[in-house]
A = this chain, B = another copy of it.
């Protein structure tokens, strides 16, 4: 995963443009079935329209000696995202409203965009800004804002069921590693894992620019939307820090409970927070008209770590081990959702005679019973058609995997029927 992050890092992405296309081309090398969609500028999507496409070739501020004192080629954060083209000589005073820095983090370049107000600008470190002392500078942004398209990637991994689990992550940020190449990499490797098969649900991956990308996808996929049963937005999964799971608007959806269970069972530091209508694309999936059961998994959330939206969100910030732990956690939570069925105890009156079936210690020492015994009894007791395995695991306080093993044993002994989905 870290190697993928490294490949993607140098690309200058935005909500449209060739940076997104290059990114999806690289993902396609990992996911041959990935489909790339282009939606033309001006297409109405829900309450929005697909914006003009932005591309950039170069950008700099030169002093009178012709030296680049701010240079897009050095770091693509230097140009304000969606800057319109500009070329000319500006006095320092004229330039200042177009310069963005972080006085409290004077060595870092901030990340800024202006998607919906036409302007241009540069982002630079406070040290760079302070060093600008000459009377005038040559400013150039060689960008274009033209009719074009919005590009997103989509991958469907069919399962036994037509019902879908949605995995979505934003791909619109330029050279920021944790935000959100980390989650893109986790999603790619999750897809490769799931592509090996063995899952009940169909899994749909959406790699799209934030906000407008999710809105575009929602707008054009009414039938897929209707099939979504669970969903996760993935973001910021490569930097060390406690997991943060933000619940869906529904608050008690299965995905909310499965993430809570997986985090608890993983015994890792984590926070579970309530839904708020701010954040990543769960804002769109959880808008009241859709109200999809989609939560958001991060590690330390946006704006809460010092490297957030700065040039310090670089390849060093993202750790291979952290990416691996993140992937594992997502896999475990999805495994819970995938296995979360309801069963019917075929011997609901009294306990079935487990001893006769070899499912009971024959010399009765109650205290020494392992939890395996207890798991059998919990599954039998709650498999009344009302309770899912998540219900049972939560109520029993036993690991989900142990409940699953009990189910296997009981099915093998004809004591359980699986119920329709």
Interface residues of A (CB under 8 A from B): 46-48, 80, 100, 110, 112-117, 119, 121, 211, 214-215, 218-219, 249, 276-278, 283-284, 286-291, 302-303, 308-309, 345, 347-353, 355-356, 360, 362-367, 369, 373-374, 377-378, 380-384, 396
Contacts and interface: CB of A to CB of B under 8 A. Distances in A.
A100 B363 CA distance: 10
B278 A46 contact: no
A355 B118 CA distance: 12
Contacts of A219: 350
Contacts of A356: 48, 116
A139 B106 CA distance: 89
13 contacts: A46-B350, A116-B360, A277-B351, A278-B366, A286-B381, A287-B350, A288-B384, A289-B348, A291-B384, A302-B366, A302-B367, A303-B367, A309-B367
A47 B350 contact: yes
A276 to B, nearest CB: 7
Contacts of A47: 347, 349-353
B287 A351 contact: yes
Given A365-B309, A367-B302, A349 B211 contact: no
Contacts of A349: 46-47, 218, 287, 289-290
A407 B75 CA distance: 42
Contacts of A396: 276
A284 B350 contact: yes
A308 B114 contact: no
A114 to B, nearest CB: 5
Question: Considering the complex of A and B, which 4 residue pairs feature the smallest CB-CB distances, nearest first?
Answer: A289-B348, A117-B362, A303-B367, A289-B349
Given A112-B365, A277-B378, A374-B276, A351 B117 contact: no
Given A276-B377, A277-B351, 13 more contacts: A47-B347, A47-B352, A80-B363, A110-B365, A276-B378, A278-B374, A287-B380, A288-B345, A288-B380, A288-B384, A302-B366, A308-B367, A309-B367
Nearest to A288: B384
A117 B356 CA distance: 9
A399 to B, nearest CB: 16
Nearest to A360: B116
A380 to B, nearest CB: 7
B214 A288 contact: no
A287 B384 CA distance: 9
B364 A112 contact: yes
A355 B116 contact: yes
Contacts of A291: 384
Contacts of A369: 278
A364 B277 contact: no
A353 B383 contact: no
Contacts of A353: 47-48, 116
Contacts of A287: 348-351, 380-381
Contacts of A351: 47, 211, 215, 277, 283-284, 287
Nearest to A214: B350
A154 to B, nearest CB: 17
A100 B365 CA distance: 11
Interface-central residue, A119, A308, A348, A350, by most chain B CB under 10 Å: A350
Nearest to A383: B288
Contacts of A366: 278, 302-303, 309
Contacts of A116: 353, 355-356, 360, 362
Nearest to A308: B367
